[in-house]
Chain A
Amino acid sequence: MPNDSAYAAPAATHAASRPLVEVSMLEKRYGDSGPPVFSDVSFTIQPGEFVCLIGHSGCGKSSILNILAGLEQPSGGTVIMDGHEITRPGLERGVVFQGHALLPWLSAVQNVAFAVRSRFPTLSRAEIREKAEYYLHLVGLRSALDKKPAELSGGMRQRVGIARAFSTQPRMLLMDEPFGALDALTRGLIQEELLQICARTQQTVFMITHDVDEAILLADRVLLMSNGPDARLAESIDNPLPRTRTRESMHHETGFYDLRNHLVDFLVRRSALVSKGEH
C-alpha cells in the first residue's frame, strides 16, 4: 500500500527554488493568416505550487493546458519541464480531462488500474488492484468501485478521473475545468477533497477554470488571460489567503473580497481592454 510519504516523495525532492515548469513566449495560431489565438505567454510553476488559469472562453486556455500535456504543439515558444522541452505526452504529467474521459467499458477500479499498470508495468494484478483502490479511497470513493462510468453520477465519474490522474504519481497534475459540469454542492465537496490531497502530497497542479471562487479556494497563484483572439497573459496574482482556507470560512479571511473583486473586475472589464491594448 503506498503511504503518504512515499507518495509525496517526487514533489518533495524537487522542492528547490528552481521552477518545475518554465513556459516562455508560447504562441498558438490555427492557419497561416489572421491573429494567433494567444501569443507571448510566459510563466513559471514552482514545485508544489497550485496554479489556476482564468480566462473567458476562446482565449486558448485549453490549448495552453494541452500544450503542457504534450497533446498539442505550440506554433511558437517553448515549455521546459525539469530541463527538458515538452514535445509529447508523458506519465510525469497527469491529466484530468474536462469530460471525465473514462473508458466506458471498464469499471471505476479498472479505469484506475489501467493507468496504474501503465505507470508500474511490473506490478502483479493484485498489487495493481490494491493501488487502484487506494487512490479511489483517496478521492472519497469507497463504494461502487466495480460500477461502470455510465452507472456513476457526474461527481463520482470526475472523482475516478482525478484518482486515475493521481495514481500515476505525476510530477505535475493538469486539470482542464474538471468541475465545470458538476452541480455546486458536489463541486464544493470535491474541491475540498482535492485541496486536502494536494496539501498532503505537495502535488504541483496547473488547473484551468472560469470560476473565480474555485480559483481563490484552490490556487496559490492565479493567472489571468485577456480575451482572444491574440489573447495575452495579463496578470499573475499571488493568493494572500492562508493555505488552510476552507470553503466555509474563506470569505471571512481578510483580503478575500479584495482578491475576489479584483478577479471579477478583470473578467468583467479589463480582460477585454487588455486585448485592445488600452490597459
Chain B
Amino acid sequence: MISAESRRAFFLFLALFAGLLLVWQLSTASAPPRSPYGIPQGNAEYQMLMGHTPGTTRTREGFPGPARFAASALQALHAPFHDNGPSDRGIGWQVGASLLRVAIGYGLAVVVAVPFGFLIGLHPVIRRAVDPFIQILRPISPLAWMPLALYTIRNPEGCGIFVIFICSLWPIVLNTAFGVGSVRREWLNVARTLEVSWTRRVLFVLLPAAAPTIITGMRIGLGIAWLAIVAAEMLVGSSGIGYFVWNQWNNLSLSNVLLAVLLIGFTGMVLDGALAALQRSVTYAE
C-alpha cells in the first residue's frame, strides 16, 4: 500500500525530472547564431561566416542535448567491458578499476582504523597523545599527499591506493574512538561483574555497542574515498573512472564525460546504500 504522501512525492519527483530535461533540452538546442549588429536572421552569408551552413545540422558539437546524450550513453553502456587498449576501454572496466582501488585502499583503512580507534577510545592517555597528530593530518586534502606519495611509492597504482587509504582513515579512527569511548558504563560493569575475558568484552560488548558509530565513520570515509579516487585518477591514472573523465574531455566527448559523471554519482549512491543497510542491521534501540 503506497501512502498518499509518497505518491505525491513521486509525482513531484517526475515533474522535477521532466522540468530538468526540458531546461536541458532548451539550453542545448542549436539555433542559428544571432548577430549583435542587426544583420537579419536569414542572412545566409552571415550564417556561413559563423560556420553554420544552411542545410547541415550541428550534431557533433557543443553540449549534447538529452536525446543525443541518451543515444551515446546507450552505445557506451551497450558494451561496457570492451577493451581496445588503454585509451579505449569500456566504461564498465573504468568503474571496476576505480572500485578495485577503493576496495584495497579503503579495506586497508578499515583494518588499521578500527583497532587503532579502539586503542585510543579505551585509553584516554593515548587519545590525548595522538590527538594533535590526528587534528593536523585530518584536514589535509588527500591530493596534497600526491607528490610525496609519488616520490616515496614510485608506483601510480600504489599512489592511488595510498590516497584512498589516507583520506578514509581519519573519520573511521575518530568515530570508532568516540563510539568505544562512549559505551555505557553500565554495560561495561555488567561485563566486569561477569568476569568476561578481554576478547569477549571487545567482541561482544564494545564492538556491538559502538558498531553504529563505527559504521557512521565508515560511511563518511567511503564517501571521501569515492570523491578522492576520481581526482587522483585524473592526475596519475591510466585507468579508472577519473582517468576516463579526463580522457573523454581530451576527446571533446562531452556525452561520455556526462555519462561518467552520472555513473560516479550512481556508484557513490550504491556504495553508501550498502553501508546504510549494514548500519541498520547493527543499530539497536535502547
Segment 73-124 of A: residues with Cβ below 8 Å from B: 88-91, 93-95, 97, 99, 101, 103-105, 114-115, 118-119
Q: Which 4 A-B pairs have the closest CB atoms?
A: A150-B285, A101-B186, A118-B194, A105-B284
Alpha-carbon distance A214/B211, docked complex (angstroms):
40
B189 lies within 8 A of chain A by Cβ: yes
Check A90/B195 contact, CB under 8 A, given A105-B208, A105-B282, A148-B284.
yes
Cβ contact within 8 Å between A105 and B193: no
Check A93/B286 contact, CB under 8 A, given A101-B187, A103-B208, A114-B204.
no
Query: Can you offer 17 A-B residue contacts whose CB atoms are under 8 A?
Result: A69-B193, A70-B192, A70-B193, A89-B189, A89-B192, A89-B195, A91-B194, A97-B189, A97-B190, A101-B189, A103-B205, A103-B209, A104-B285, A115-B194, A118-B195, A150-B285, A150-B286
Chain A positions near chain B (C-beta within 8 angstroms): 69-71, 88-91, 93-95, 97, 99, 101, 103-105, 114-115, 118-119, 148-150, 168
Cβ contact within 8 Å between B194 and A114: yes
Among residues of A, the one whose C-beta sits closest to the C-beta of B184 is: A101
Task: Tell me the interface secondary structure of chain A in the complex.
Answer: loop
B196 lies within 8 A of chain A by Cβ: yes
Cβ contact within 8 Å between A104 and B189: no
Cβ contact within 8 Å between A118 and B208: no
Check A99/B186 contact, CB under 8 A, given A93-B193, A105-B208, A114-B204.
yes
Alpha-carbon distance A149/B286, docked complex (angstroms):
7
Cβ contact within 8 Å between A104 and B186: no
Least Cβ distance of A195 to chain B in Å? 23
Alpha-carbon distance A104/B194, docked complex (angstroms):
17
Task: Collect the chain B residues with CB atoms within 8 Å of residue A70's CB.
Answer: 192-193
Alpha-carbon distance A69/B196, docked complex (angstroms):
15
Segment 163-210 of B: residues with Cβ below 8 Å from A: 184, 186-187, 189-190, 192-196, 200, 204-205, 208-209
Cβ contact within 8 Å between B284 and A71: no
Alpha-carbon distance A269/B96, docked complex (angstroms):
78
Please pick, from B184, B193, B205, B208, the residue contacting A71 in the complex, using a CB distance under 8 A.
Answer: B193
Least Cβ distance of B64 to chain A in Å? 51
Cβ contact within 8 Å between A118 and B284: no
Alpha-carbon distance A119/B200, docked complex (angstroms):
13
Cβ contact within 8 Å between B205 and A95: no
Among residues of A, the one whose C-beta sits closest to the C-beta of B207 is: A105
Task: Collect the chain B residues with CB atoms within 8 Å of residue A104's CB.
Answer: 284-286
Least Cβ distance of B281 to chain A in Å? 10
Task: Collect the chain B residues with CB atoms within 8 Å of residue A88's CB.
Answer: 192
Alpha-carbon distance A119/B195, docked complex (angstroms):
8
Cβ contact within 8 Å between B190 and A103: yes
Please pick, from B187, B196, B209, B285, the residue contacting A118 in the complex, using a CB distance under 8 A.
Answer: B196
Report which residue of B193, B211, B284, B285 has the largest number of chain A beta carbons within 10 angstroms of its beta carbon.
Answer: B193
Alpha-carbon distance A110/B104, docked complex (angstroms):
36
Cβ contact within 8 Å between B192 and A71: yes
Task: Collect the chain B residues with CB atoms within 8 Å of residue A97's CB.
Answer: 186, 189-190
Alpha-carbon distance A95/B205, docked complex (angstroms):
17
Alpha-carbon distance A161/B48, docked complex (angstroms):
88
Cβ contact within 8 Å between B193 and A95: yes
Q: Assuming A71-B192, A88-B192, A103-B187, what are 15 further A-B pairs, CB within 8 angstroms?
A: A69-B193, A89-B192, A89-B195, A90-B193, A95-B189, A97-B186, A101-B184, A101-B186, A104-B286, A114-B204, A118-B194, A118-B196, A148-B285, A149-B286, A150-B284
Cβ contact within 8 Å between B194 and A105: no
Task: Collect the chain B residues with CB atoms within 8 Å of residue A90's CB.
Answer: 193, 195
Task: Collect the chain A residues with CB atoms within 8 Å of residue B211's CB.
Answer: 105
Alpha-carbon distance A97/B261, docked complex (angstroms):
55
Segment 206-225 of B: residues with Cβ below 8 Å from A: 208-209, 211
Cβ contact within 8 Å between B194 and A71: no
Least Cβ distance of A268 to chain B in Å? 32
Alpha-carbon distance A3/B32, docked complex (angstroms):
95
Least Cβ distance of B280 to chain A in Å? 13
Check A168/B286 contact, CB under 8 A, given A71-B189, A97-B186.
no
Among residues of A, the one whose C-beta sits closest to the C-beta of B194 is: A118
Task: Collect the chain B residues with CB atoms within 8 Å of residue A119's CB.
Answer: 194
Please pick, from A91, A101, A114, A150, the residue contacting B195 in the complex, using a CB distance under 8 A.
Answer: A91
Alpha-carbon distance A103/B190, docked complex (angstroms):
9
Least Cβ distance of A31 to chain B in Å? 20
Task: Collect the chain A residues with CB atoms within 8 Å of residue B208's CB.
Answer: 103, 105
Report which residue of A71, A90, A118 has the largest number of chain B beta carbons within 10 angstroms of its beta carbon.
Answer: A118
Task: Collect the chain B residues with CB atoms within 8 Å of residue A105's CB.
Answer: 208-209, 211, 282, 284
Task: Collect the chain A residues with CB atoms within 8 Å of residue B189's CB.
Answer: 71, 89, 95, 97, 101
Least Cβ distance of B100 to chain A in Å? 33
Alpha-carbon distance A114/B208, docked complex (angstroms):
13
Alpha-carbon distance A70/B191, docked complex (angstroms):
12
Check A168/B194 contact, CB under 8 A, given A97-B186, A97-B189.
yes
Least Cβ distance of B232 to chain A in Å? 38
